[in-house]
Amino acid sequence: MKLAIINPNSTESMTKKCEEVALKFKNPDTQIWASNPSNSPKSIEGHFDEVKSLMGLMDEIKKAKEWGAEAYVVACFDDPGLEAARELVDGPVIGICEAAMHMTSIISSSFSVVTTLNRSVPIIEELSHKYGMDKFCRKVRAADIPVLALEDGTCNAMEKIENEILKAVKEDNCEAIILGCAGMADLTIELSKRCNIPVVDGVLCAIKMAESMVGAKLQTSKINAYAYPIEK
d(CA 136, CA 214): 26
Q: Which of 3, 5, 52, 60 binds its own copies (CB under 8 A)?
A: 52
| Closest among 70, 69, 67, 96 to 81, alpha carbons compared | 96
Q: Nearest distance from residue 179's CB to its own copies, in Å?
A: 13
Count of residues engaged in binding its own copies, rule: CB under 8 A: 83
Please say which residue, 34 or 61, places its beta carbon nearer to its own copies: 61
x/- mask, its own copies, residues 113-142, rule CB under 8 A, reads -----xx-xxx-xx--xxxxxxxx------
Our finding on whether 31 is near its own copies (CB under 8 A) is no
Our finding on whether 23 is near its own copies (CB under 8 A) is no
Q: Nearest distance from residue 88's CB to its own copies, in Å?
A: 6
- Residues numbered 161-220 forming contacts with its own copies, rule: CB under 8 A: 173-176, 197-198, 200, 204-205, 207-209, 211-213, 215-220
Segments of the chain assigned E as strands: 2-6, 31-35, 71-74, 93-95, 111-115, 137-142, 176-180, 199-201
| Closest among 8, 3, 9, 17 to 184, alpha carbons compared | 17
Q: Nearest distance from residue 37's CB to its own copies, in Å?
A: 13
Q: Which stretch binds its own copies (CB under 8 A): 12-20, 35-43, 154-162, 179-187?
A: 35-43
d(CA 161, CA 141): 10
Please say which residue, 29 or 66, places its beta carbon nearer to its own copies: 29
Three-state DSSP at 5 gives strand
d(CA 100, CA 200): 7
d(CA 89, CA 85): 7
Our finding on whether 35 is near its own copies (CB under 8 A) is no
Q: Nearest distance from residue 160's CB to its own copies, in Å?
A: 18
Please say which residue, 33 or 86, places its beta carbon nearer to its own copies: 86
Please say which residue, 137 or 161, places its beta carbon nearer to its own copies: 137
Q: Which stretch binds its own copies (CB under 8 A): 86-94, 151-159, 160-168, 179-187?
A: 86-94
Contact indicator for 94, 222 with CB cutoff of 8 Å:
no
C-alpha torsion angle, residues 95, 79, 121, 164 (rounded to 10): 40
